[in-house]
Structure 1
């Protein structure tokens, strides 16, 4: 399985523990969850009922078995981060040495006065201890995110590289904006660069920038990119207030950023994307492959579970937002809203964009437009 030098290694016992968490998560989803789904359907008061989802969700919580299952889902997430964090901490010195030995290309700009947005400060998203912005002056939080993200996605988003979303963004650009030849690119919320690197690789003549709230994330992301041969310029900052002049970029994109923000932030980010783009530039936002009004009852209850048991308070708002209207309100035209087929090998002329989702990990929701 493809990897990279900065990815924390595992001992036999650490690998076994991480695989156990992966399999435990799959057991809870594939073997236990169907029973709770069936019970939810039996408790359904009908589509005409007011507060239908909330009513069934409350009724489910009256059952000890449901509460235990929901609690175990949360526990499995806590186990994931605990195991990965312990493994990463063991390798702190070697990871710092690897980062120092990386080829010196690209750049990192940190803001010592940066304050993360309130919607991130209020809780650790995905239960990752310390959240995205935790900074101990090193790069360990980025290493935890990289290794933990691959385990969290159960290997279905590009294995240890966790890069299918980035390749899928490239595939969408090829499908919808085949004439685009960006020379200046920005990712909002770049994290450790799992989506930034595939986009940079697809457009090797471009100058590529990423912005994120986490200093430790960015330190790790730079070392990761250097070892992968990508030249990127990383900046600490907030997607609602990117520190760049007007009309700086030909392509601005995000990958599963919006559901980690807030309803007000989503609209602000759309406006910032318009400001940052040159005339003719393109914006692409990739998100989770669900739309709230297309979900069945259990799908909507799953969203409530994510909010309550996995610190995802903006999940429902993000998959309910009218992105076509938001992009138009920001000033964009040539708007495309739909689903892009997931891929690790984007090809020009392959298409793959449609109105229909093929399901989780097989496609991703995408909203894009041109200035």
Structure 2
């Protein structure tokens, strides 16, 4: 399934994007196992406190590892370049589509908005301009939408890239089946890929989203309108959302926390509590890894993500004690574990477990009730 706002591709653009996808797969499946084996050979053992840092530094002595890590970064730059060129070609058509979308929902932008320091410091995932880049159009959102689907290699709901949103809804159905939210908010809604499936799961709710990027939000509104979904979008900082206390029955985020900072994670969880009505539910969905459960190579991969893919908070986000943070913020009925990935959430289906089912098969979730 696709939607009208999704940038199309010519034959050559499709070939270029498929090449980047296959190049990434080759680097991950064809080359990476050799570096994993080398890391295990270099492992000084668990009695050495700094074994991850030690092995990671030693790997950089090898020219082959440096070349592979550099090519991983290059493949990411190639992804954004191929998508950006395609989007630029369609700039006028995308603007026209946005303007022609049905009139539903709303968008509130802040002309004085300043993005958080942790986003200003670098373009996350190497996406040129980052989440907050704004040229007055929808184009940065279009780049994020198409690029995100290619980046996930189609394993998060194809070009809709919406499995995480469906999984959030499935988690609510599994653990909080009595929740019938009248007002919903997604923190860090981006282009709405997760917001729209949550809206579909709760059709009677008034649905809101907040994000740092004006271009992202313009695109998200047009995307939602073309999918016949009414959403109300606001530009702002999720650490201090511009909504009154107790405004929502359900607040959630989808792979937001690892894009922030350790301090921001604590603030976002506290802000989630402030925004909820009594009895309301929060769900924070994240990458399906916990740092203390990773093997040596898994932890080294985190260092690689930080250094070669502008993911400086990856380690902190998967190391955080979410149960303690939720309790500290005043939440009750806390659940921390993994929700089975799905594109068809259903009441009574369950799917929550304390053990991960693996990448793309499940997502880490931390949820609670106010």
Question: Structure 1: how far apart are the matches of 2:93 and 2:273?
Answer: 42
Question: Structure 2: how far apart are the matches of 1:24 and 1:267?
Answer: 37
The offset of 1:255, in angstroms, is 0.1
Question: Structure 1: how far apart are the matches of 2:273 and 2:169?
Answer: 20
The offset of 1:48, in angstroms, is 1.2
Q: How does 1:165-176 map to 2 (within 5 A)?
A: 165-176=164-175
State TM-score, norm by structure 1.
1.00
Question: Structure 1: how far apart are the matches of 2:135 and 2:107?
Answer: 17
Q: Does 1:331 align with 2:327?
A: no
Stretches of 4+ aligned residues off by more than 2 angstroms = none
Name the structure 2 match of 1:275: 274
Q: How many residue pairs get matched?
A: 370
Unaligned runs of 5+ in 2: none
Name the structure 2 match of 1:82: 81
Name the structure 2 match of 1:158: 157
Give the secondary structure class of the aligned counterpart of 1:346: coil
Note the alpha carbon deviations across 1:187-214, whole angstroms, 9 max, x for none: 0000000000000011011000000000
Question: Structure 2: how far apart are the matches of 1:37 and 1:170?
Answer: 36
Question: Structure 2: how far apart are the matches of 1:219 and 1:168?
Answer: 25
Note the alpha carbon deviations across 1:115-165, whole angstroms, 9 max, x for none: 000000000000000000000011100000000000000000000000000
Question: Structure 1: how far apart are the matches of 2:318 and 2:308?
Answer: 18
Name the structure 2 match of 1:109: 108
Give the secondary structure class of the aligned counterpart of 2:292: helix
Name the structure 2 match of 1:244: 243
Question: Structure 2: how far apart are the matches of 1:255 and 1:270?
Answer: 13
Question: Structure 1: how far apart are the matches of 2:253 and 2:346?
Answer: 20
Q: Does 1:126 align with 2:122?
A: no
CA RMSD of aligned residues (A): 0.3
Question: Structure 1: how far apart are the matches of 2:297 and 2:351?
Answer: 28
The offset of 1:50, in angstroms, is 1.8
Give the secondary structure class of the aligned counterpart of 1:178: coil
Q: How does 1:310-325 map to 2 (within 5 A)?
A: 310-325=309-324
Q: How does 1:201-280 map to 2 (within 5 A)?
A: 201-280=200-279
Question: Structure 1: how far apart are the matches of 2:284 and 2:269?
Answer: 10
Question: Structure 2: how far apart are the matches of 1:117 and 1:132?
Answer: 11
Give the secondary structure class of the aligned counterpart of 2:110: coil
State TM-score, norm by structure 2.
1.00
Name the structure 2 match of 1:145: 144
Question: Structure 2: how far apart are the matches of 1:38 and 1:348?
Answer: 44
Question: Structure 1: how far apart are the matches of 2:342 and 2:201?
Answer: 13
Q: Does 1:289 align with 2:288?
A: yes
Note the alpha carbon deviations across 1:29-57, whole angstroms, 9 max, x for none: 00100000000000000011021100000
Name the structure 1 match of 2:184: 185
Question: Structure 1: how far apart are the matches of 2:84 and 2:336?
Answer: 38
Note the alpha carbon deviations across 1:325-361, whole angstroms, 9 max, x for none: 0000000000000000000000111100001101110
Give the secondary structure class of the aligned counterpart of 1:280: strand
Give the secondary structure class of the aligned counterpart of 2:240: coil
Q: Does 1:301 align with 2:276?
A: no
Name the structure 2 match of 1:92: 91
Question: Structure 1: how far apart are the matches of 2:204 and 2:169?
Answer: 15
The offset of 1:76, in angstroms, is 0.1
